[in-house]
Structure 1
Amino acid sequence: METGTVKWFNSTKGYGFITQANGNDLFVHTSGINGYIDEGDTVEFEIGDGQKGPCAINVKKFNLVFNQFFIFQIIKKGR
């Protein structure tokens, strides 16, 4: 999974853009979103093939609390 930030998203038009960690923008369509996203949200996603090039798919908000817990459990098991 990749992470990025929602640059802008227009729910009326059904699309927007996510800024990837490397600074590149990636198109996102409402059909590739799980749940609800808004401008400025940190999201996780996969990169798929769209009609005009790469696009974000399986997009969901990045849940920092869950991910911190998950990472803690991995570290704890390593001890």
Structure 2
Amino acid sequence: MTVALMWEARAVEGRGEKLLSWAKEQVLEPAPERRETFRAPADRVLVITWWDAEYGDALPELPEPADELVTRAVHRWRFEAA
């Protein structure tokens, strides 16, 4: 089964590039099968990772960034392939 984890954060105004760099630097062990990083207006950063796992398996996730980088807690979602 394929499980996708989505991680989305909104940077403090003007800190989008710093948040994007921070997200790209985070290492997940073990590494996912696939990982993509996106950015959007309003200094938002989205990271999606794909895993060969069962829906309820414990999987490594990106941590919360430092408070000075984000305006709110990170949003996280988990999906399974349909």
Which has a greater percent of helix? Answer: 1
Aligning the two structures, in what range does the TM-score lie when normalised by the shorter sequence? Answer: under 0.3
Q: TM-score, normalised by structure 2?
A: 0.22
Which has a greater percent of strand? Answer: 1
* Relative contact order higher in (CA < 8 Å, ≥ 6 apart): 2
Give the structure with higher Rg (CA).
1
Q: TM-score, normalised by structure 1?
A: 0.23
